[in-house]
Structure 1
Amino acid sequence: MELAVKTLAGKAAGNITLDDAIFGIAEIRKDLLHRTVRWQLAKRQAGTHKTQTRSEVSVTTKKSIRQKGSGGARHGSRNAPIFVGGGVAHGPRVRSHAHDLPKKVRKLALAHALSSKVVADSILVIDAATLTAPKTKELAAHFASLGIENALIISGITVDENFAKAARNIPNVDVLPVAGLNVYDILRRKTLVITKEAAEGIQARFDGTLAQPAIAAEAE
């Protein structure tokens, strides 16, 4: 597959050939995308929800009513779940929401996510994502010339500091290194913008030769 390459100024900068196995999948499997997004969001969930049981609440342990003669049930302390201010029965506990997902599924889902942008004609290749100074106004003008309003930008192995500082003040624009490429961020933005270096990095990532595999694993 061959796509045109543009500069940040919107000028033509040649063409680039992309792997059809990564960017040329015609039939997008939404089930793979759904499973991977669920896996990502579950993994990032804090899981710090917690309620106090009857042994953890701080209430008086004095017997609330006499044992006999009240005409009601026999109760001890007020920490039982049936009382206001008492403990919670079967409430949420601190736990991890993460679950396993095979690497083959994650890898295939990433290829389907990338291909979905090609199918939707929502992918743009630029020669480089660099700026001489961290000026948001200048970068916003470049984005306007390219028609970028809501996008994920994959810069390469590393992110240019000036570009990152300028882009962080623009709403609906995310900038990530190639090692941080993931299904959720691809799908949540309308346009996928990759540099020529990022295209090579994506190919290396699928081939297993990415220079920073530890970062890639952490990003997933």
Structure 2
Amino acid sequence: MEVAVLNIQGKETGRKITLSEAVFGIEPNNHTIYLDIKQFLANQRQGTHKSKERNEVAGSTRKIKKQKGTGTARAGSVKSPVFVGGGRIFGPRPKDYTQKLNKKVKRLARRSILSQKAKDGAIIVLENFNFEAPKTKEFTNILSNLGIQDKKVLFVLSDINKNVYLSSRNLPSVNTITASELNTYNVANATSVVLLEGAVEVIESILTK
């Protein structure tokens, strides 16, 4: 699959890059995409939720009224869950939500979502560039030139580039990562995926192991 390489003005450079069919041209496996996204979201959960049960609530254990003759239900403690300020019944407890997924499944999921984006024409290959200093305005100009200023964009760099990252950090619709950080959720969550020319080789080397 050949894709034209664009410059930061949004125009073709006259060069084309061949995207690997093994990464960008397979039949998408939707179930592996689902499994990888589910694992990613589950692993983001802190699992630190906690509420106090009746044995953890501060309060007197004095029997608050006599057992019989009141015409109401028996009550032995103000910490009972049926009273305001009492403990919670079966409340949440700290839990580890981490899930495991085989490496081969994760690689297949990432190849599948990239192939789907390529099939939809949502992948743009941009020539390598750099900023002399962080400038958000210059970055938004690039998005405008590419015609994706109003879309959710995933910007994939070949390596860490501090100036480009800082230039895009204030833009809520743009997510800038390196090729080694690429995951299924970020690709699926983006409307347009912009790959720097150098990032394509890194992605293909990772996903064709």
Deviation of 1:132 after TM superposition, in Å, equals 2.1
Question: Which moves more between the two structures, 111-120 or 28-37?
Answer: 28-37
Answer yes or no: is the 8 Å Cα contact 1:46–1:96 preserved in 2: yes
The runs of at least 4 consecutive aligned structure 1 residues that moved more than 3 Å come to 71-74
Q: Which residue of 2 aligns with 1:9?
A: 9
Letter in 2 for 1:193: V
- d(CA) in 2 for partners of 1:20, 1:95: 41
Measure, in 2, the Cα distance between the counterparts of 1:184 and 1:206. 16
Give, in whole Å, the separation in 1 of the partners of 2:73 and 2:142: 75
Q: 1:171 to 1:69 in 2, by over 3 A?
A: closer
Output aligned runs, 1:27-176, within 5 Å: 27-149=27-149, 150-158=152-160, 160-176=161-177
1:177, distance to aligned residue in structure 2 (A):
0.6
Distance 1:133 1:15 in 2: 29
CA distance in 2 between partners of 1:143 and 1:154 (Å): 14
CA distance in 1, matches of 2:159, 2:139: 20
Letter of the 2:115 partner, please give it: S
Q: Cα distance, 1:201 vs. partner?
A: 0.6
- C-alpha distance in 2, partners of 1:58/1:46? 26
Q: Deviations over 1:66-107 (max 9, x none)?
A: 133324443221112222211112111110112222222111
Counterpart code for 1:77: S
Is the CA contact 2:62–2:77 (under 8 Å) kept in the aligned structure 1?
yes
Aligned mates of 1:102, 1:127 — CA distance in 2:
34
What secondary structure does 1:42 align onto?
helix
Which whole-Å CA distance do the structure 1 matches of 2:74 and 2:135 have between them? 73
Q: State whether structure 2 residue 206 is matched by structure 1 residue 202.
A: no
Letter in 2 for 1:189: A
Deviation at 1:60, TM superposition (A): 2.0
SS at match of 2:52: coil
Distance of 1:90 and 1:38 partners within structure 2: 26
Note if contact 1:129-1:155 (Cα within 8 Å) is conserved in structure 2: no
Inter-partner Cα distance in structure 1 for 2:37 and 2:129: 27
1:116 offset after TM fit, Å? 1.1
List alignment gaps of at least 5 residues for structure 2. Answer: none
Paired AA for residue 166 in structure 1:
S
Q: How many residues align?
A: 206
Report percent identity of matched pairs.
36
